[in-house]
Chain A
């Protein structure tokens, strides 16, 4: 078919389609067909949305107002589950542990990620290799295998104490069995996985035009000034993005606490992550109603912190005009 260069191809195609349709005498218009096709392609997703996401959400909201042990029918108890939480010392403790975990591990991870990204973004040779090596912990870190390794590393005669022995510090502390340090070992495990935010930072740093630095240097700005007034402001959208992503993830951390504490959240509940407590109550004690109520509080907490972050972003996230 010869194309007339003056006519946009899409229009031409549309006309031809209509022509073809007329000749076939189809009843469905092109728009109707596209509409139908759209819904057909979305059919699996719709099924998933209704059966596995929206349906269960409504259902779990209902269950959160009931006593439900999986074996007998749920019994409506009103707000009882929600009220019980605030008198449940283990729940209060789980909230505390989780907040400490989130608000220590996320900023530390971000600082490491940004620092290493800054170091790597100097046109060094071997960047690809360094980047890959730093990414390995992010890839492996969530697995049961690494959690088992962590358990040994921070045990009485684990790797950490052995290495401390090399430098002459005799330590027989079992870090994972000490209520003071156990949560710390899990924070270290989280920070260890700074590779993926680092890669995102690196991609962001590459977007900053060299001219800005050149201009600033000409104006006599030192290194620190350039970082504070050019790099950091231009990077704030990425800091924000990383922060949300990491925060939402950290609120839901489960595997490391479960494996390192052997499913108990111990010692003395010092690693009782919120999700671990939900699991214990729901699938351990079959308090499914209570577990659902706790899960809804988690959802609300995550939504709340995300909203706060978005609202605050007006004051500290800097968008260049063209990105707006």
Chain B
């Protein structure tokens, strides 16, 4: 951006100052997270007395004790979380891309009406439908299983991703469709052979955000999972917090760190894709 007409030297100083401000704010922001990591290696007594980053006494006890602190060990909870996330990702990618293909490429009756309804559901507060959904899943005998968390994803209930995929598919040149039609593609083969491969960046964004949101989702998992054997990580962490309280912050921190690793891993691996996803579509964080 232009700076009026300052000298080169002045501009250099301004730039340095801006760098310093940005770095200071960044440090302030990530400090709690880094401190969480360091505190997870401290004995609990030290957590409450040292705000510094280097533990005086290094220990892995928090991790070992925390891992087995509940009736089931965290093996179970992490496995459960992964199963739920995997199911949700597969469900969203298939069902949302199908709906998006229809909306972006096909002409059918009342399309405008269905499209408007689809957009309308994006902003719908989950609280409005949670009670009847609970009753429905309870009647089906699905409470205390992963089905209430996975099946809705196969029915394209995350309309936001449909919208995201529609936007992307609309950007794919139609010449390709026409060429494929000449080669004898029907609507199904077109979807599988042309649209899906070309939409892979948007499908990846869908998959990654579905994973991250499902991994850190708490409300639905809290409602539908009652028995410790089916707990996911967030629900288990909450139970852990309730059962121990202040006395074992070290262990709580250790498990918290582990619970953030998958999200962080995805972030490191797909940083560019994630940030572009936010920038172009306004996905919330």
A23-63, CB < 8 A from B: 31, 33-39, 41-45, 47-49, 51-53, 55-57, 59-60, 63
Return the contact of B275 from the options A47, A51, A135, A137 (Cβ within 8 A). A135
Does A311 count as interface, using CB distance less than 8 angstroms? no
Q: Is A166 an interface residue (CB 8 A)?
A: yes
From known contacts A48-B152, A140-B263, A282-B131, infer whether A249 and B218 are also in contact, taking CB-CB under 8 Å: no
By a CB distance below 8 angstroms, the chain A residues around B127 are 252, 275, 278, 294-295, 298-299
Could you tell me if B131 and A143 are in contact, using CB atoms closer than 8 angstroms?
A: no
A261: min CB distance to chain B, Å: 11
- A245/B121 in contact, CB under 8 A: no
Closest to B99 in A: A45
In the bound complex, do residue B1 and residue A34 qualify as a contact, i.e. CB atoms below 8 Å apart?
A: no
Which of A163, A200, A223, A295 makes the CB contact (< 8 A) with B279? A200
Whether the pair B29, A295 counts as a contact (CB closer than 8 A) is no
B1:A121 contact, CB within 8 angstroms:
yes
Contact A245 B282, CB 8 Å, known A53-B157, A148-B256: yes
Question: Which of A37, A51, A192, A245 has a CB less than 8 Å from the CB of B284?
Answer: A245
Pair A70/B4 contact, Cβ less than 8 Å:
no
Q: Is there an interface contact between B155 and A47, defined as CB atoms closer than 8 Å? A: yes
B residues 219-244 in Cβ contact with A at 8 Å: 219, 222-223, 233-234, 237-238, 241-242
Inter-chain contact A144/B162, CB cutoff 8 Å: no
CA distance A302 to B122 in the complex (A): 13
Contacts of A279 in B (CB 8 A): 219
**Hey, which chain B residues are within 8 Å of A222, CB to CB?**
4
Contact A53 B259, CB 8 Å, known A10-B178, A45-B162: no
- Are B242 and A262 in contact (CB-based, < 8 A)? yes
Q: Bound complex: CA of A157 vs CA of B33, how far in Å?
A: 17
Tell which of A81-89, A93-101, A125-133, A314-322 binds the partner: A125-133
Q: A52-B157, A196-B278 are in contact. Are A45 and B256 (CB under 8 A)?
A: no
Select one of B107, B128, B216, B285 contacting A57, CB under 8 A: B128
Q: Which one of B99, B138, B218, B282 lies within 8 Å of A42 (CB-CB)? A: B99
Measured between alpha carbons, how far is A232 from B123 in the docked complex, in Å?
Answer: 27
Taken together as a complex, chains A and B put the C-alpha atoms of A155 and B48 apart, in Å, by: 9
Total inter-chain residue pairs, C-beta < 8 Å: 300
Main secondary structure of the interface of B (DSSP, over half): helix
A70, B128: Cβ atoms closer than 8 Å: no
How near does chain A come to B144, taking the closest CB pair, in angstroms? 14
Cα–Cα, bound, A142→B212 (Å):
10
Question: Which residues of chain A are within 8 angstroms of B135 by Cβ–Cβ distance?
Answer: 59, 70, 288
Inter-chain contact B237/A144, CB cutoff 8 Å: yes
Binary A-proximity of B97-128 (CB < 8 A = 1, otherwise 0):
01101110011110100100110010111111
Tell me whether A159 is interfacial, beta carbon within 8 Å. yes
Complex contact B121–A53 (CB within 8 A): yes
Per DSSP, chain A at the interface is helix
Check B74 for interface membership: any CB of A closer than 8 A: no
Contact indicator B51/A48 (Cβ below 8 Å): no
- State whether A60 touches B216 (Cβ < 8 A): no
Determine if A44 and B155 form an interchain contact, defined as CB atoms under 8 angstroms apart.
yes
Q: A45-B162, A217-B2 are in contact. Are A195 and B285 (CB under 8 A)?
A: yes
Whether B99 pairs with A152 at a CB distance below 8 angstroms is no
Stretch of B17-25, B57-65, B82-90, B199-207 on the interface side: B17-25
Measured between beta carbons, the chain B residues less than 8 angstroms from A53 are 121, 124, 129, 157
Residues of A within 8 A of B15 (CB): 122, 124
Q: Is the CB of B238 within 8 A of A144?
A: yes
Q: Which residue of A lies closest to B179 (CB)?
A: A9
Whether, in the assembled complex, A292 has its beta carbon less than 8 Å from a beta carbon of chain B, the answer is yes
Query: Are B216 and A153 neighbours in the complex by a CB distance under 8 Å?
Result: no
Q: Which residues of A have CB within 8 Å of B255?
A: 145
- Across the interface, name the chain B residue whose C-beta is closest to A131: B275
Cβ–Cβ < 8 Å partners of B269 in chain A: none
Whether the Cβ atoms of B107 and A196 lie closer than 8 Å is no
Chain A residue with minimal CB distance to B282?
A200
* Cα–Cα, bound, A152→B253 (Å): 10
Considering the complex, give the chain B residue whose CB is closest to the CB of A135: B275
A-B contact pairs, 13 of them (CB 8 A): A34-B107, A42-B99, A48-B155, A52-B152, A122-B18, A139-B274, A141-B285, A146-B260, A153-B32, A192-B29, A199-B278, A217-B2, A245-B282
A-B pairs with the 9 shortest C-beta distances?
A138-B285, A38-B108, A48-B155, A145-B256, A196-B285, A56-B132, A162-B51, A41-B102, A59-B132
